[in-house]
Structure 1
Amino acid sequence: TDFDVWVGIPSIQMSQLPRAAKICFTLHVKNYKEMIPLGWVNQQIFDHHNVLKAGVFSIPLWLNGHANPLSPCSVNIDSAKPMTLSVEFPAFSDQVVTYPSFSQYIYSSEPAKEADPSMVLNSRMDYLIHQDPLYKMSQKEQKMLWDNRHILGCVPAALPKVLQVVDWTKPEMVIEMLRLMSTWAPLPGSEALQLLDAHYPAREVREYAVNCLRNVPDIDIEDYMLQLVQVLKYEPFHDSPLSRFLLQRALQNRERLGHLLFWYLKAELSSPHISHRYTLLAEAYLYGCGDHLFELTHQAQLVEKLQQVAENVKSKKRGKKQLLHKELADIKFDHRINLPIVPGMSISGFNIEKCKYMDSFTLPLWLEC
């Protein structure tokens, strides 16, 4: 499109914008053969106070590539001189436009109809409910689920499928769905996880999923932790029910959940599009974790030393094994250190004679303790 012109969205009115709506920009340059992407960025249309953006914004772009609606809404703050896109959102005189609160409608005198456990699902509905999450429903199937939504509230597994039917640009449909969710049978933790992926951006849905996880025991949260850290990137904002939930559970069980949360967050810091969020969450944990900070510091120092050993061995043309053994011997342990990859397992040194490097392109180290 041209610059210095208003770009309209003819298929949707302002009053129909979902709270989770985002706008995706890709800046192209055109040569005689093709359009070449120079930069991209995603932006939420409503801010974290539910206020509709208005006025002029200068947005730092991520270089190269096309905007992906599933990518997080972050800007390039790492570059000293980033390419920026100046965008003006329409302002409505002096009015501040906010996304409406539906709570007065959800809890009005017209409550959601109670699901009847005695109702028997027909075979087609049962088939749809237990289909793979990636299954594409036909319009007829979607209508069948929505028409029978009131009898599905006692079937936890039906919720993700019914949510897929909702048109979030229709306020009356959103209100009806939120009413239903207020009385819907809770999902088991393993099934609630799917409501936290990129296909369910609505805050109420994500908060419902987090509430389903609150009574899940720590041993199961350990199994889910990697997935939970990954889906953090789909939260519209840094402060979310999911991030607060993870911090709360991690601080209540620092040796297991806190350990996993820190290292899973740290593993994502090399991803520039989301590293700022993960850095903030890791810092929040470290501020509150007390003495666990010192243990994590020792673990991080050990990892850094081993990374340096691996780089030195890889760059050596001859005598790799001898260099590996020498540098491992130089690593001193003042006390036992928990392994980052296995919480609860600690080491006090290496069985150096059995340590080696593997014959592959990256030359990974084989370490025995």
Structure 2
Amino acid sequence: MEPFSFASSSALDLPVSVKINTLDGHQKPIPFSTLLKRPDLRHRGSNLSPHSELYVTAQLWADSKPLTVPVQTPYKAFKSARIWNEWLSLPITYSSIPLTSQIAITVWDLSPTGGEDAPFHAIPFGGTTISLFDKDNTLQKGRQRCRIHRHKVADGLSSSTTPSVIPPIRAFRNEERIRDNDPGGNNAEMERVEGLLKKHEMGEIPEDRWLDPLVFRRIEKMEREAYKGEAKFRLKKLKEDEKAELGAGEDENNDNKENDVDEEIFYLNIDFPRFDHPIVFEDQSYPPPPMSTIPLGTSLIEARHRPLPDLALGPGINEDSEGYGAPGIGRMIRIYDPEIGIKDNPAENKHRRLMRSHRTGVVDRDLKPNAKVRDELNVIISYGPTHDLSSEEKDLVWKFRHHLTREKHALTKFVKSVQWSDQSEARQAVQILPKWTEIDIDDALELLGPTFDNPTVRAYAVDRLRKADDDELLLYLLQLVQALKFERIAPGDGEETTQDSSLASFLISRAANNMLLGNFLHWYLMVECDDRSNEQRSEHRKLFGKVEFDFMNELIKQPDGTHRRKILLRQAELITILSKISKDIRFSREDRPRKIERLKAFLADPRNELTSYDPPLPLPLDPTVSITGIYPDEANVFKSSLFPLLITFKTSSGLKYPLLFKTGDDLRQDQLVIQIITLMDRLLRKENLDLKLSPYRILATSTSAGATQFVPSLSLAAAVTKYKGSLLAYLRANNPDESAPLGVRKEAMDTYLKSCAGYCVITYLLGVGDRHLDNLLIAPSGHFFHVDFGYILGRDPKPFAPLMKLSSEMIEGMGGPTHPNFTSFKSYCFTAYTTLRKSANLILNLFALMQDANIPDIRIEPDKAVQKVRERFCLDVGEEEAIRRFEDLIGGSKDAIFPVVIDRLHGFVQHWRA
């Protein structure tokens, strides 16, 4: 389809305007006999001269009501024709008018005797009413020819008696009667000529200075003839109709009335403004009233996360996302009801109060469930973190709350069952929290999510986090920073603004006493402060700014706080310099060799002070590594659309630390995936399962820049190409052992099998997409790993993408699908999958805390992000069934043909680009 551009009327903040051009028509001289009967007619200006002075008024109407006061043309004396050429601006803008707007235009004559309903000495010469929008809801523009209804004031009623276009007098069924309606074809010819005139005005017909005046004079003559012909035709039809109605016996009376019949035809030519694009009507959308003005029956946070009620449509109504039904049905209008999702059902409230009668609170302490109820409670406790409890389940948990205090996993279900708007019930819940068995870290993270806003509950969860060591806390730091959005932090700008937030105070205190935590907390907060997109709310930016401000104040109070603050400032200077050179190289039009030369020259320039650092500077990407300078000669620029920089740093230990730095890309999604992979690696190691994962480090320094650890490796595409289609040949060349099976050193093959299994399971659980042989890497030691996580949670730009990437090249590197190595690979996969299923709640809670994070693939459907990960854990079935499903998944990925075709096409495209 051809591209179509348009603008909406709500964005057109200009006054409604109309240009009054000319008045054309035929006026028959009044017979002397008529003047004897009505002497007032001899004093009207239009009867004295065919070019008498007239003026025009225009007024905007809608739904039979006037929207503005009338505006009029100035006084003007005519010589040869009634030509105004005057623009009238109405006191209203296009953005404010409704769809039914129409302009009532009245031409006023002058008479000293005045007349009935005439203002002073002005009497109506005629009127016309024209709509501003056509049948397609598009604003009319350009030249318009409006029929003037003689001796009538234009009305703006919905069913106007003065329409600008008059329909035919009768509906004729056969062609002969239709031809009689337009004798000589004058009307059809005039419509054709008007179309040609519009094209001439728009420049579609070239101008001819010699021929155009002749054509215009001919058109004027045709108009005069058409007016006379139409007047005679209408007079004839009116006579026929009257004879048919009154009968043949009253012909004499009809003859006497002949002079009273109006046979004058006039048209007013006007112009509407022209715009570059069509203007389509768009109604004003008003925001709903603030929720804070409504008395809440429940806590605001419960109402905020309550699902919207389903809208039941009538049969045959197929409403789309814009609120429009099927053709012919019309528009569906949603009416905002502030009580939906806010106020509780009074019957349910009464039932809850009866079920939880506080008079039985003493008895509840000794109440124990029977076997049937115990099974029901166990089912409730086994629910995942995203499961919503029914009202009956909440009542059951509340009833046996004292019995459940020994069940650590029941605490989150108990907190969900409490009606926190009931002060008495909330007081009992707060008193029972300290008596509960200590919960695990995953349940503590769930209590910090968006569905729990009670300060006491959140403080209880923070107390559990205090028992975690710094290394474990570092694994969850990214999510804990996002959890600050759900905290109640004072709006002040001074010091100690975060003292009301137990989570903020905890993070500041721990980060101020640990360099690693402080480094990453600082950069996580700075990236959130830098996010000025529409998805990041301004109050959240202020919140993160307050936390960073208080963190710096707390840091200064430490013995080495001043020194550590200078380190963070020096890191910021380094990142600023690298960002500048990265942008300059990315936007320069030089070829790649010259870009590399420019980068090396910039790094080697002593004025930039990059070749040596004194004292050593902890690297922002890895603060455990202190850098002392940069090797300019080893710098490189990669062949990519963003031209990432390869920079090698000198370290205080004498080793080299290469990293990639690039601008123009938001690395927060990659940072999240690497953090989850690091966490999963730790969970597997706790179960004595080392899958040789090598999660490289990544740090987003802003919303459009970041650093990535560079791991020397080859892509599978490059390795297969270099070794003639065999990944096994690559492993054999880098790890030769003639005595070992397949000629590969046992440790290297074991590393390859385990790392393949680990990344296959993890990328499947995270739904990593866009997997091809260029973002699957392998190191000479046999470590296999994935890079480039631009698509997660099941998104994939390629059609028919498999749920898990297991290419034929990967299987060939194991020795083939019939080799015992492939059996060992599947065994590692099953063990890793079942191990991670045990920690599913922890991973799901981490994703729940990231729902409001500005992560692209989470932002698409934030309410479904956790559900997408949960589905891949298969928590609704047992362990044996889950393993069987995963085995089927491996078989389907191994035998899939379409991914092979995609890989071949991708390789061809990459080769063509190179």
TM-score, length basis structure 1: 0.66
| Cα drift, residue 279 of structure 1 | 1.7
| Number of residue pairs the alignment of both structures matches | 280
Aligned equivalent of 1:264, options 524, 531, 543: 524
Distance in structure 2 (CA, Å) of the matches to 1:280 and 1:201: 20
| Cα drift, residue 361 of structure 1 | 4.1
Q: 2:635 — aligned with what?
A: 355
TM-aligned CA distance change 1:257 to 1:110, over 3 Å: farther
Distance in structure 1 (CA, Å) of the matches to 2:408 and 2:548: 33
Q: 2:549 — aligned with what?
A: 283
**Cα deviation digits, residues 216-266 of structure 1 (max 9, x gap):** 21221111211111111111214211111111111222x122222212111
Distance in structure 2 (CA, Å) of the matches to 1:281 and 1:123: 45
User: Larger Cα Rg: Structure 1 or Structure 2?
Assistant: 2
Q: Letter of the aligned partner of 1:302 in structure 2?
A: L
Q: Letter of the aligned partner of 1:264 in structure 2?
A: Y
Alignment of 1:27-66 (within 5 A): 33=282, 36=285
Structure 1 unaligned regions, length at least 5: 1-28, 46-67, 71-108
Distance in structure 1 (CA, Å) of the matches to 2:551 and 2:597: 40
Q: Letter of the aligned partner of 1:326 in structure 2?
A: A
| Cα drift, residue 120 of structure 1 | 11
Q: Between Structure 1 and Structure 2, which shows a larger proportion of helix residues?
A: 2
TM-aligned CA distance change 1:309 to 1:157, over 3 Å: same
Distance in structure 2 (CA, Å) of the matches to 1:361 and 1:114: 69
Q: 1:304 — aligned with what?
A: 576
| Cα drift, residue 128 of structure 1 | 2.5
| Cα drift, residue 69 of structure 1 | 5.2
Q: Letter of the aligned partner of 2:504 in structure 1?
A: S
Structure 2 unaligned regions, length at least 5: 1-95, 99-280, 295-302, 306-360, 491-497, 532-537, 556-560, 650-914
Alignment of 1:20-31 (within 5 A): none
Alignment of 1:1-369 (within 5 A): 33=282, 36=285, 113=365, 122-238=374-490, 239=498, 240-253=501-514, 255-271=515-531, 272-289=538-555, 290=561, 291-318=563-590, 319-330=594-605, 331=608, 332=610, 333-335=612-614, 336-369=616-649
| Cα drift, residue 201 of structure 1 | 0.8
Distance in structure 1 (CA, Å) of the matches to 2:465 and 2:456: 14
Give the match's secondary structure for 2:530. coil
Give the match's secondary structure for 1:342. coil
| Cα drift, residue 203 of structure 1 | 0.7
- Compute the RMSD of aligned alpha carbons: 3.5
Distance in structure 2 (CA, Å) of the matches to 1:211 and 1:339: 31
| Cα drift, residue 179 of structure 1 | 2.1
Give the match's secondary structure for 1:215. coil
- Whether contact under 8 Å (1:309, 1:328) holds in the other structure is no
| Cα drift, residue 112 of structure 1 | 8.7
Give the match's secondary structure for 2:618. strand
**Cα deviation digits, residues 29-53 of structure 1 (max 9, x gap):** 99864554789999799xxxxxxxx
Distance in structure 1 (CA, Å) of the matches to 2:363 and 2:644: 60
| Cα drift, residue 114 of structure 1 | 7.9
TM-aligned CA distance change 1:173 to 1:128, over 3 Å: same
**Cα deviation digits, residues 42-97 of structure 1 (max 9, x gap):** 9799xxxxxxxxxxxxxxxxxxxxxx958xxxxxxxxxxxxxxxxxxxxxxxxxxx
- Whether contact under 8 Å (1:325, 1:355) holds in the other structure is yes
Give the match's secondary structure for 2:438. coil
Q: 1:74 — aligned with what?
A: none
- Whether contact under 8 Å (1:112, 1:180) holds in the other structure is no
| Cα drift, residue 110 of structure 1 | 7.0
**Cα deviation digits, residues 301-357 of structure 1 (max 9, x gap):** 101111111111111111322222222333423322111122211222234344334
TM-aligned CA distance change 1:177 to 1:306, over 3 Å: same
TM-aligned CA distance change 1:30 to 1:311, over 3 Å: farther
TM-score, length basis structure 2: 0.28
Q: 1:53 — aligned with what?
A: none
| Cα drift, residue 132 of structure 1 | 1.9
Q: 1:58 — aligned with what?
A: none
